[in-house]
Amino acid sequence: MRSSAKRAPRPSPSASWDNPLDQLLGYQLRRASFAMLSDLSAGIGKLDLRITEMSVLMVIHANPDISQSDIGRVLGIQRANMVPLITQLERRTLVSRGETRGRAQSLRLTPEGEALVRRCREAIAEHEARYTKLFSPKERQDLLRCLPRIWQDDMLPEESDL
Amino acid sequence: MRSSAKRAPRPSPSASWDNPLDQLLGYQLRRASFAMLSDLSAGIGKLDLRITEMSVLMVIHANPDISQSDIGRVLGIQRANMVPLITQLERRTLVSRGETRGRAQSLRLTPEGEALVRRCREAIAEHEARYTKLFSPKERQDLLRCLPRIWQDDMLPEESDL
DNA sequence: TATTGTTATACTCTATAACTATA
DNA sequence: TATAGTTATAGAGTATAACAATA
């Protein structure tokens, strides 16, 4: 089930092909993102969690009584896709639904959920450490400073929207 | 069909939640990668191409007579997943199969494929320009210098493999 | 009327296993 | 035996449309 951590058969040392995408920022982001996702997925998978599930737990932990829709807004997940996520986490008694404000339900972690979040944090720390050591402190800081510009403040569209 | 370019309803300015993932390199990469993928997808979609299809065309263009498996190795796509990709591109007469060396078939772009690659390049250039302007020349260069470390030379696994 | 939770559905990308063909 | 192409299938993530309930 779990996609085991990248274990490429050591890219064939013989022929070397030209990759015309190498100088594209988007391509580099995609490959880098995929590599880190795979690595984290392996670590988190030992807790029988997927990355999105883990992310949801972390957000609820940091924001008790947040609603399902708001979690989606924080993480960039659509309302409709939050439903099976929360259902599953509730089924595992990691999350519980509390009072309802309007139609919204406030979500909290169960003690079991809190415990799992702590284990997630350890796994994440190990994971991040593996990659952080690839960079100087300044390089890492620059990455964390630059990357949010790409997706936050959502890129004023060129075309005016009348 | 096409996932229209990110046009978020302007993240609700009212409540602001804590996102505990914000300081994680992996999270920033995922969000940034997704944003650029969506934007490029919109541009490339006008040519009725998906990003993976476009990537394959670009690699064949840069490496005439490359085989299907080798394209996969360059782009990080598995052999099995290359099959429907090439089949579809051949059906649209963008790619043609040439001589076979062993079991491998050498792939080339048709004139139609070459023409489409030129249009792809324009779309990509516009797309990259939209994001390049978010960074100073040095910042962009640093990004392109740092990111490959994450996925190339594939991260010596911690556990020795006997 | 706007927002939330919900259902259903579909598409893309990725992963695995197993088969065939060829050097 | 190793590699290439192939088939089939499954699992995640994401997207859209539509509906009910609630303020």
The one-digit pLDDT tens for each residue of chain B (162 residues) are: 333 333 333 343 346 899 999 999 999 999 999 999 999 999 999 999 999 999 999 999 999 999 999 999 999 999 999 999 999 999 999 999 988 887 889 999 999 999 999 999 999 999 999 999 999 999 999 999 999 999 986 554 444 333
Residue B161 lies in a domain: no
- Please report the pLDDT score of residue A159 as a whole number: 40
CA of A80 and C1' of D18: distance in angstroms?
12
Lowest mean pLDDT among A80-84, A147-151, B153-157: B153-157
Check CB contact under 8 Å for B150 and A131. Answer: yes
Residues A97-140: tens digit of each pLDDT: 988 887 889 999 999 999 999 999 999 999 999 999 999 999 99
Residue A126 lies in a domain: yes
Check CB contact under 8 Å for A149 and B132. Answer: no
Query: Hey, which residues 30-49 in chain A have their CB within 8 Å of chain B?
Result: 30-37, 39-40
Alpha carbons B153 and B139: distance in angstroms, whole number: 23
Alpha carbons A87 and B31: distance in angstroms, whole number: 24
C1'-nearest nucleotide to the CA of B84: D6
Task: Inform me whether the C-beta atom of residue A17 falls under 8 Å from chain B C-beta atoms.
Answer: yes
Distances (CA, A) of B65 to A16, A158, B58, B68, B95: 13, 39, 13, 9, 11
Residue B156 lies in a domain: no
Task: Inform me whether the C-beta atom of residue A11 falls under 8 Å from chain B C-beta atoms.
Answer: yes
Residues of B in contact with A76 (CB under 8 A): 31, 34
CA of B50 and C1' of C12: distance in angstroms?
9
Indicate the average pLDDT of chain A. 87
Tell which wins on pLDDT, A2 or A66.
A66
What are the DSSP calls for A25-66, one per residue? Answer: HHHHHHHHHHHHHHHHHHHHHTTT--HHHHHHHHHHHHSTTB
Task: Inform me whether the C-beta atom of residue B87 falls under 8 Å from chain A C-beta atoms.
Answer: no
Q: HEC profile for chain B? A: CCCCCCCCCCCCCCCCCCCCCCCCHHHHHHHHHHHHHHHHHHHHHCCCCCHHHHHHHHHHHHCCCECHHHHHHHHCCCHHHHHHHHHHHHHCCCEEEEEEECCEEEEEECHHHHHHHHHHHHHHHHHHHHHHCCCCHHHHHHHHHHHHHHHCCCCCCCCCCC
- Please report the pLDDT score of residue B2 as a whole number: 36
Residues B3-29: tens digit of each pLDDT: 333 333 334 334 689 999 999 999 999
SS3 A96: strand
- Please report the pLDDT score of residue B155 as a whole number: 54
- Are A73 and B12 within 8 A, CB to CB? yes
Query: How many domains, in total, are found in chain B?
Result: 1
Instruction: Name the residues in A42-61 having a C-beta closer than 7 Å to nucleic acid strand C.
Output: none
Residue A9 lies in a domain: no
From the number of C-beta atoms within 10 Å of its C-beta (0-12, 13-18, 19+), residue B143 rates as buried
Task: Inform me whether the C-beta atom of residue A4 falls under 8 Å from chain B C-beta atoms.
Answer: no
Residues of B in contact with A29 (CB under 8 A): 29, 32-33, 36, 147
Residue A22 lies in a domain: no
CATH number, residue A136: 1.10.10.10
Domain housing B137: 28-148
Residues of B in contact with A136 (CB under 8 A): none
Among A24, A81, A160, the strongest candidate for a mutation testing the B interface, having the largest count of B CBs within 10 A, is A24
Work out the pLDDT band at A154, boundaries 50, 70, 90: low
Q: Which residue of chain A comes nearest to B69, CA vs CA?
A: A12
Check CB contact under 8 Å for B17 and A154. Answer: no
Alpha carbons B41 and B24: distance in angstroms, whole number: 26
Residue A92 lies in a domain: yes
Check CB contact under 8 Å for B150 and A58. Answer: no
Residue B3 lies in a domain: no
Q: Which residue of chain A comes nearest to B74, CA vs CA?
A: A19
Q: Which residue of chain A comes nearest to B30, CA vs CA?
A: A33
Residue B54 lies in a domain: yes
From the number of C-beta atoms within 10 Å of its C-beta (0-12, 13-18, 19+), residue B162 rates as exposed
The H-or-E segment that residue A116 falls in is: helix A111-132
Lowest mean pLDDT among A45-49, A87-91, B39-43, B97-101: B97-101
pTM of the model: 0.87
